[in-house]
Structure 1
């Protein structure tokens, strides 16, 4: 077992679930959270007491190379999840995506090289593929920067792979498809639907309904990261973490309504539509490589798996203490 793990973005949606699971499995975890004057640890504030007491929390910013290097001292491996992720906000402020996603990743790589870190796992995204040219999408699919966000993630992925090629650094790239589950922000489609329904609305405001996605329950994504961490076979590789199941946004809306036992109408809101050439029309993952190299496969696979994952997600959002943290009346970019 690797001794000390740094998780960047540990205060976020996937990062908090990953941090908690690593602690449960006996890892010594340093949680890198974004500094703020409230000393908030983001979603880690909701972690069970037995997890919190075993955390080494570092507050900083991945854009600061000095803080990054300090955070990485004494760590054997880094799971790098810290990033700006919202696609609509990347239209608004693309410069911040270059600073955080590309420069932030460079800071991790530079520090890792200087400190001799044993493994760095870079977090990618299915958005780097753009609209599928063939399905299921393998890791050999062309990369297409259809939004400033996806372009910044292509840049950060390529920087990580360049360090592996140039300096023989032990780098791996994990490429999750559309992760969902408890704690996800309402800028994502599934929480957008659930929070509007849970707040009593029956006319739901959404964007495009025809694009397809490959949804992954958060525990499957977490298990994919840990499988990569514990494997020697992923170094220098890009590995999809996906369910190998394609479903349209429209079908997903209806499935959520069925799980929640309500009848709804859908209203298309112009502000929620991506520019025509920026919309990713189709995503469907091949997960054969993850199965072969990491021995990973999704537990929430296919239509039935998605239904189970949605039921767990809905149950979390229906808790009033959780729901009150969301603003269902406001479009969250």
Structure 2
């Protein structure tokens, strides 16, 4: 695929991964439409922080994937749709499960149906490693069973199955990308790595976390954005579910130690019950098998965990105004 002049819609473009992906598409010369969720403040999320040249290079539209007519209007004329818009916070899914059904399942269906109506050339649907639940075997390949261990993961399983059904029922050119634990600049404190970093940089000598024993397969956000690009480019990915992971497993506790070493401050770790998932909902182990994405697209991560954490620490250090370290970010 030649991105130069290609009409591309990114849903969720104002968010963490979506904003990095939007910038990368601009670098590649794509004609990018960035969908941000409508709000009365006309806030475009991270798009508001783009440099003028990048911001002037994209068309920003506001809307809501839960509203089908709006999706039809926005998707008409697009050649590629990269669908990232979703509710993603696991703790909030315990409080408002139906919001996740309406956004992640119904909203995704609206996007798929509009893409079908206008014969979009390629759709990349965003999944999550949370659909696997706690690993039944490692490393986790794409054949691993899916487990709905939270309302969030259940809603994403539903969305993934809708994408699968549109490929099988209507022969649509859909690929499902399943990123493992993405981190990096612009991630909110609802995630563990920015929670750790922001609390330490705020001068706290005791930081509050949930369980330290679960393992994760962390991926730097620029690598995740590149995975979207590679999956969109390849015809071999149509009809496939594809992991994007580092194939490197680390506990939350060892991640904390790496961050403490980078920042160079002594802190005490406190277990905060509010941050613990319900016992049967905790995903205790995630470790990606990334063989398939390498074989289909040639993608492989370029950032080590140490390099990625160093860049993340530096960014948060310069952007502490975005973090409220005295409250739990659900």
When the two structures are superposed, what TM-score results if normalisation uses the length of structure 2?
A: 0.98
Match of 1:68 among 67, 71, 74: 71
Shift of 1:256: 0.4
1:182-216, CA deviations, whole angstroms, 9 ceiling, x for partnerless residues? 00010000000001001000201000000000000
The residue number in structure 2 matching 1:328 is: 325
Q: How does 1:11-160 map onto structure 2 within 5 Å?
A: 11-160=14-163
The residue number in structure 2 matching 1:207 is: 210
Q: SS at 1:278's partner residue? A: coil
1:252-271, CA deviations, whole angstroms, 9 ceiling, x for partnerless residues? 01100001011111000100
Unmatched 5+ stretches in structure 1: none
Unmatched 5+ stretches in structure 2: none
Q: How does 1:142-181 map onto structure 2 within 5 Å?
A: 142-181=145-184
1:262-295, CA deviations, whole angstroms, 9 ceiling, x for partnerless residues? 1111000100000000000000000000000011
Partner Cα separation in structure 2 for residue 330 and residue 324 of structure 1: 14
Shift of 1:24: 1.0
What is the alpha-carbon root mean square deviation over aligned residues? 0.6
Match of 1:277 among 275, 280, 287: 280
Partner Cα separation in structure 1 for residue 38 and residue 243 of structure 2: 30
Q: How does 1:151-300 map onto structure 2 within 5 Å?
A: 151-300=154-303
The residue number in structure 2 matching 1:315 is: 314
Shift of 1:232: 0.8
When the two structures are superposed, what TM-score results if normalisation uses the length of structure 1?
A: 0.98
Runs ≥4 residues deviating over 3 A: none
Partner Cα separation in structure 1 for residue 135 and residue 292 of structure 2: 18
